[in-house]
Chains A and B, each alone.
Chain A
Amino acid sequence: MTDPAAGPSGPLIVQSDKTLLLEVDHPAADACRRAIAPFAELERAPEHVHTYRLTPLGLWNARAAGHDAEQVVAVLLEHSRYPVPHALLVDVAETMARYGRLQLVSHPVHGLVLHALDRAVLEEVLRSKKTAGLVGQRLDDDDVVVHPSERGHLKQVLLKLGWPVEDLAGYVDGEAHAIALDEQGWAMRPYQQQAVEGFWHGGSGVVVLPCGAGKTIVGAGAMARSGTTTLILVTNTVSARQWRDELLRRTTLTEDEIGEYSGARKEIRPVTIATYQVLTTRRKGVYTHLELLDARDWGLILYDEVHLLPAPIFRMTADLQARRRLGLTATLVREDGREDEVFSLIGPKRFDAPWKDIEAQGYIAPADCVEVRLTLSDSDRLAYATAEPEDKYRLAASAPDKNRVVERIVAQHPEDQVLVIGQYLDQLELLADHLDAPLITGATTVRERERLFAAFRTGELRRLVVSKVANFSVDLPEAAVAIQVSGSFGSRQEEAQRLGRIMRPKADGRTAHFYAVVSRDTVDQEFAAHRQRFLAEQGYAYRIVDAEDVLAG
C-alpha cells in the first residue's frame, strides 16, 4: 500500500498513538505540511520535528470542510516514511464516518430540525440524558424539532456524545452595512488573506496567529468580507480604543460608524466594540447588558483573545449560533482545558500558523528568549524553605536579588525600549523605583495608561514597568526587550502573550529579547518550566544562563 517512491524517504512518521511527526528539514516537508494541515492539529513546532495529532475533532472539522476519509488515508500513506499502523487507518475511517449522520436543517414549517440519516444514531442520542430538554417534538422517524435557542448547546452535546452534527441550517445574513478595506500604503499579507478566506469559507471559527502578526487586520478583512453590522468583543477598554483606531486607519469606516460599549460609554453603532467585562456585569443576578447582543441584527460577531473567553460569554455564545462568529487568538491554550468548548461554540480552528513560519516570512520580529537563573542568598533560601506552601511562589518570585539582575539587564540594552513585566505590585513598585521608570497597574487610569503607552511608542519613554494589565492587546511596536520577573504561576498563554508584546517587527529588523528571571531550585523554576512549554513547542528555545554570569558580564 505504501508508495515505494515516497515510502522509506517520506517526511512523516505516523505513530500508533495518533501523533504525526514531521521532519521539517526534509525536502518534501512543506508539501506534507500543506497536505496534513486540514485534518491534523499542530501540537508542537520545535526546531527539527513538528508534532501533529489526529483528534476526532480535527477529523470531523476536515469532514465539515469537505475532506473524506479516503483522502486522509491517502495523504498519510503518501507521505509516511514507514508503514502506517493499520489500526490507525481503520480508526480514522470510523471516526470520520460518525460525522454528519445527524444534520441540523431548516424546515419550512417546523423551523430548526434535527434530521437523521441513520435512524439508530438518532435513537441513541435522543435516549441520552444529555439531550433532554434540547429537542422538542418528534416529527417522524428521522426528524425532531430543535429549539432554536439550544442550537449551540445541542451541537456541543452531540459532539460530546461522539455524533457531531452537520449544521446545514445556515446563518442569518444580518443587517447589511458597507465596509471596505482602505488599502492605501499597505496590503493584507498572504497569510492574513488565507485566514480571512478560511474563516469565510467555513462560516464560523477561530483564527490562530502569533502576537504581532496582525490579527486586527484579519478581523477587519472578515468585516469587509461580510459587509454587515459587526459586534466586536474585546478584553478591556484600552484594547477597545486600539481596535477603533486600527479600524479607522485600515477601513472605510468613519468615527460615527464605530461605537464603544464599555463601562464608560454605551454607544450602539453599526460596528460596536464591547468589553467582556461589561457584558458579564451582573446586577441582582441579572446580566444587564445582554440586550446589546440583540440590539441590532448583527451579521458578524468577533471575539478578540478568544482564549480568555469567560464562562458567561460561553453561555451567551451558545445562543448566537445563527450568526457568524470569528475568534482571534495567538495562544489557544487554556489552563482549564476548555479549548474544546471554544471550538464547539465559536467554531473549529480555521487557520493556524506556526510562529516560526511567520517569523521566517519577516512579519514578526525574531526573538531571543533567555531564562536567567538566580541563586537565592542563604537567608532567602532559609526563608523560602520554611515558608508556608501558599507563600512559596510569592517569596521565590519576588526575591529581592532579582532587582539587581533586572538593573543589569536593562543596562545591557541602553538603546532599546524595555518593558519590565511582573505579577506582584510591591515588587514592581520597588523595581520602578530602582529603574526610575513609570509604573502601570490596574489602578492606573485609562487616560494615564494611554498617555504612558503613547510616550513609550514615540520613544519619549525608554523604560516601562507594567503589571499583568499589559499582558494582552497592548500594541507597543517598538518595544524590543521584555523582562519578566514574576507571573501568574504556570500560565503558558501569559508567557506567550508577554513575548508577543515585543514581537512587532522592528524598523531596523532587530532581534527582540525576552528575559525571564527565575529563582533557582524553587517553585518559581518549576512554574517557569511549565510556562515556557508553549513557546518551546513553538520553537522558541530558551537559553538558560546563570544570574552570576549576567551580573559579571
Chain B
Amino acid sequence: MAGYTQALRARGEDALVALLRLRPDLAVPPPATLRSMAARATTRVSLDRALAGVDALVLQSVEAVLTLSGTAGRERPHVTAGEVAHTVGLAPEDASRPLRDACDLGLLWTDPDVDDDALLPAPGLDEALGPYAAGLGPSLRATLARRSTQGLARIAVAVGLPDDEPAPEDVAAALARPEQVHALVEQAPPGARQVLDALTWGPPVGRSPESRTADPAASSSPARTAVEWLLRAGLLAVQDSQHVVLPREVALALRDGRTHRAPALAPAGATPSTPQATADADATQHAQEVVRLVGTLVTAWGTEPAPVLRAGGLGTRELRRVAQRLEVPDDVAALVVEVAGAAGLVADDGEEQPAFAPTLEGEDWLTRELGDRWETLARAWLGAERAAWLVGSRDDRGSPRPALDPEARRPWAPRLRRSVLEVLAGTDATLAEVTAPPASHVRAVLAWRAPRSAPPEHAVEAVLAEAATLGVTGAGALGSAGRALLADAAPGPSAVLTGLLPAPVDDVLLQGDLTGIVPGRPSTALASLLEEACDVESRGAALTVRFTPSSVRRALDAGRTAEELLAELSRHARGGVPQPLEYLVLDVARRHGRLRAGMASAYLRSDDPALLAGLAEDPALRHLGLLLLAPTVLVAQATPAALVAVLRDRGHAPVTEDPSGRVVVAGPTRHVVRGTRRRATQAPEDLPPAAEARDRRLRRLAGDLLAASAPTPSDEVAPPGPAAPGAADAAGTADPVLALAILREAAAEGQEVWLEIADPRGGTVRRRVRPLRVDAGRVRAVDAEREAELTVAVHRITSVSPT
C-alpha cells in the first residue's frame, strides 16, 4: 500500500491529473491525502470501475502481471514488460501500449525504487479479478503451506531437497521450475495427464473422483489413483472436501509459461461497407420521417393530450393509439414518444387529470427548420437516460413497462449509444465507403473494448435499430449528419443534414383520378396545404396523395373556402387542376355547413311563439343569452337552473324536463370533490460539466494532494518494521476506506495493527490485533496479547493505525 502511494506521488502532477480524469470516482469527494486516495483506488468498487473500461488486451496484461507477480521461484515480485509480452503471446513492442494504459489507470504500477521496467499489480486487484484470474489457481506457496510437515517433506524429497523441515517457500520454488513439473508428469501414473490437461487452461478446479461415489470398488479407479498421486506429488492441491485445484505455477509450466492461449486482438475481418452517399440518402430519408412523426405526435397531443397513468408514464393502450395515428409499429411509436419526451417537446402537464401535452418548447420546435428540428431530436436521443426498446416488455413484477415512465432512468443508456455509434464511426472508413457492420460485429468490438462491461447483443441491436429510425445511421452505416452529431464539431449536424436534403419541390402533379404527386420533397407551404386537404397514400422520395370528400371537408373545416383551396391548388399544380378535382371541391363545399351545431346550456320550448318572441326581446333577460332558433324553441347560454330561477323572478312559470320530455322537480345538487394526488415532475437532467472546468478542478486537487501529503512521515516510512507509537497515531486513520485498505493489507501480509473500536458504552478501546479476514462488513482478527480471536463490525472501527 505504501509503495503504491509512493508510486502515485512519483507520478508527478500531470500524471496524477490524468489518473483523476480517467478514474473520476477518485476525485469525488476530494480525498484529503494521497494515502486515502491510494486506499480508494485499491477498493474493489473503484477497481471494478476502472477495469470495466479497459479493453481485452489491457485486461490480459493486468492478469498476466497479477498472476506472475505472486509465483514461486521468482527473485522478486516485479514483472517485466518482456515477461508480460511473452506470457500473453504478444510481440514485445505490442505489449507496451496495454501496459502503459494499465499504468495510466493505476491498475499496474512501477516501483520507483527498483527500476522502470518492474511492474506490480495494484493492491486489491486479486480480489477484483476474482479467484481464478486468467484461469489460474492459487500459488504453490499457498497450497503447500496448508500441507502437513510429512507431506511437505515427501514433496521436498521428490524435488531433490533435504527432508529436514523444509520451508514451503523453498519447496514451492523447487517445484515451480517447469522442468521439474514436466519431469514429475513423466513419472505420473496413467490418467494423470488427462486430469492435468482438463485443468490446465482453466477453470483450475475439478471435482475429486472420490466425492462422486462412496463405493469402495471405485476407490481404486485409475482416475482416483491418478488424482491421489498428483496430490501427493504436489501437482494438485485439495481445494475443499470435494474439489481439487491446480496450483498456478504448475498450470503455467503446463502452459509453457503462457498466461493466455492467444492475445486478445481487436476483432478484425471484413465488415460490409456501403457508399457514403447511400448511407446519407437513407439516413436523410429516415431523419425527415422521424421529424414528421414527432411533429405529428406533438400536434396530435396538442389537440388531444394523452392521459398519464396513475403510476406515471404512458399506458399501453395510449401508446397503441399513437402507433395507429402515426401508422407505425408499436416499437417505433415508443421511440417517437420517448424521443419527444427526452427532447422536452411533450411533458406531463401536472393538471388534476394529468396528461401529456406539448410544452412551449415543443410548439416552438414545430416552427423551426427541418435540420434544426432533427438535431434537437438526435441530441436528445443520444443523451437520454432512457431505453425506448424496453417499453412494453415486462418488468420484474410482470407488468408492462410504460413509455415516458418518470422512474425509468437508465444511466448506462447514453454510454451504450455512444459506444455503439463509435464502433460504427470506425477508423478505417474512407470518404467514399463507410462500414455497415452487423450487430454481432459491433457487439464483438464492444466486448473487446471493454470485456468486463460488454452490453448484451439485444441491446446493441436495439440501439442500432433506434439509430436507423432516427436517421443517425442509414443502410447500416453512420450518416454524415450522424457523424457530425457524434463528433460535436462544426459544421453541426443540423447544417450537415440541411446540406444533404434534396431541394424542396413546390409543384404538385394533380391527376384525373383525384391523386396528386409531389415529385420530391414538398416545400413547407405545399406540405401543409396537402396535409390539410388530402390523404397521403405513399411517402418517400416523393409524396403521393389522394383527394377524397372527407379530406376536402377537413380542409374546409380548418377554415378554408372552396375558392381559396382551388386557388392554392392551382398555384402549386404544374398541369392545372383537373375538372373532376375541381368538381369534387365545389361539391363538398356545397354540402359543407348544411348542418349547423352550436353550444347552449339550456333550451326553452313552448307552444306559444309569441311568448318566446317576447322573452327573446326582453332586455332584462339579455344576460341569459337567449336565441330564438325556431318559433317554438329558444336556447340559452345560462344553465337550466339559472334560467328557471330568472324566469320565475320575471313572473313566468317554467318547469324543467328531462331528455325524454318528462317534467322533473329540480332539487338542490351536492358537489363532491374527490382528492387527487399530485405527481412530482421529473427532475431536469444535469448537464455534464464543461471539460475545461473539470480539468482545472482536477489539477487543483492533484496539486493539493501532492502538497498536503509531502510532510506526512507515515508515507515516507515503509510500514514493515516497528514504528513509534506517536508516528502510528499520526498515521491512524478514521477514513473508513483507508482503514479497510490497511486492514486488508495487514490481513494479507500477516501484520499487526492498532485498532480503535467503539465499545457499547460509547467509549473506545484500543487493541493490537492481527487481522485474519475482512469481508461482509466484519473484520476477524487475533489479539495476540490476550490470545483471543475477535470479530468486529466495520462500523464500530473508529480508526486503524499500522503498528
Contact = CB atoms under 8 A, between A and B. Distances in A.
B664 to A, nearest CB: 33
A478 interface: no
A15 B542 contact: yes
A536 B514 contact: yes
Contacts of B475: 86
A542 B277 CA distance: 43
A84 B274 CA distance: 13
A1 B514 CA distance: 35
Contacts of B476: 86
Given A15-B538, A17-B540, A536 B512 contact: yes
B282 interface: yes
Contacts of A539: 512
Given A49-B519, A86-B274, A542-B512, A15 B281 contact: no
Contacts of A49: 509, 511, 517, 519
Given A1-B278, A86-B274, A542 B580 contact: yes
Given A51-B544, A85-B285, A17 B538 contact: yes
A540 B580 CA distance: 11
Contacts of A81: 519-520, 541
Interface in A390-411: none
A502 to B, nearest CB: 19
A191 B435 CA distance: 48
Nearest to B511: A46
Interface string B508-526: 0101111101011000000
A216 interface: no
Nearest to B510: A48
A544 interface: yes
Given A44-B513, A521-B591, A13 B540 contact: yes
Given A82-B520, A83-B278, A533 B513 contact: yes
Contact of A48 (B277, B511, B538): B511
A15 B544 CA distance: 10
Contacts of A19: 538, 544
B583 interface: yes
Nearest to B477: A86
Interface string B544-588: 100000000000000000000000000000010011100100010
A13 B541 contact: yes
A16 interface: yes
A48 B581 CA distance: 15
B517 A48 contact: yes
B542 A1 contact: no
A13 B475 CA distance: 18
A543 interface: yes
A158 interface: no
A72 interface: no
A180 interface: no
B580 A48 contact: no
A21 interface: yes
Contacts of A16: 285, 539-540
Among A14, A19, A373, A544, find the residue whose CB has the most chain B CB atoms closer than 10 A: A544
B222 interface: no
A533 B298 CA distance: 35
B275 A1 contact: yes
A83 B278 CA distance: 7
B502 interface: yes
A544 B282 contact: no
Interface in B707-723: none
Contacts of A106: none
Contact of A21 (B274, B285, B542, B575): B542
A41 to B, nearest CB: 15
A542 B583 CA distance: 11
A541 B281 contact: no
B540 A47 contact: no
B513 A83 contact: no
A252 interface: no
Nearest to B436: A86
A19 B541 CA distance: 11
A321 B458 CA distance: 47
Nearest to B274: A86
Interface string B489-514: 00000000000001000000101111
A391 B515 CA distance: 32
Contacts of A13: 519-520, 540-542
B354 interface: no
B290 to A, nearest CB: 13
A23 interface: yes
Contact of B544 (A1, A21, A533, A540): A21
A385 to B, nearest CB: 14
Contacts of B124: none
Contact of A86 (B278, B502, B515): B278
B474 interface: yes
A275 to B, nearest CB: 35
B576 to A, nearest CB: 11
B301 to A, nearest CB: 26
Given A81-B519, A544-B580, A537 B542 contact: no
A544 B514 CA distance: 13
A522 interface: no
A2 interface: yes
Given A48-B511, A82-B502, A544 B278 contact: no
B475 to A, nearest CB: 4
A544 B583 contact: yes
A345 to B, nearest CB: 30
Contacts of B540: 13-17, 85
B544 A86 contact: no
A86 B476 CA distance: 9
Contacts of B587: 373, 544
B293 to A, nearest CB: 14
Contacts of B512: 46-47, 536, 539-542
A17 B542 contact: no
A543 B578 CA distance: 9
A542 B580 CA distance: 6
Contacts of B275: 1
A433 to B, nearest CB: 32
Contact of B541 (A23, A83, A86, A87): A83
A182 B418 CA distance: 76
Contacts of A541: 511-513, 578-580
Contacts of B520: 13, 81-82
B539 A82 contact: no
B777 to A, nearest CB: 55
A543 B579 contact: yes
Interface in B276-320: 277-278, 280-282, 285
A537 B513 contact: yes
Nearest to A23: B519
A13 to B, nearest CB: 4
Contact of B513 (A46, A80, A543, A544): A46
A17 B277 CA distance: 21
A14 B281 CA distance: 13
Nearest to B574: A48
B790 to A, nearest CB: 68
Interface string A351-382: 00000000000000000000001000000000
18 contacts: A13-B519, A13-B520, A13-B542, A14-B541, A15-B540, A15-B541, A15-B542, A21-B517, A21-B542, A23-B509, A82-B281, A83-B280, A83-B282, A86-B475, A539-B512, A541-B512, A541-B579, A541-B580
Interface of A: 1-2, 13-17, 19, 21, 23, 44, 46-49, 51, 80-87, 373, 521, 533, 536-537, 539-544
Given A15-B538, A86-B282, A87-B282, 17 more contacts: A1-B275, A1-B277, A14-B540, A15-B544, A16-B539, A17-B540, A47-B575, A48-B509, A81-B541, A82-B520, A83-B285, A521-B591, A536-B513, A537-B513, A543-B580, A544-B579, A544-B583
In the A-B complex, list the 9 residue pairs whose CB atoms are closest, starting with the nearest.
A541-B512, A83-B281, A15-B540, A536-B513, A86-B475, A82-B541, A46-B511, A544-B583, A13-B542
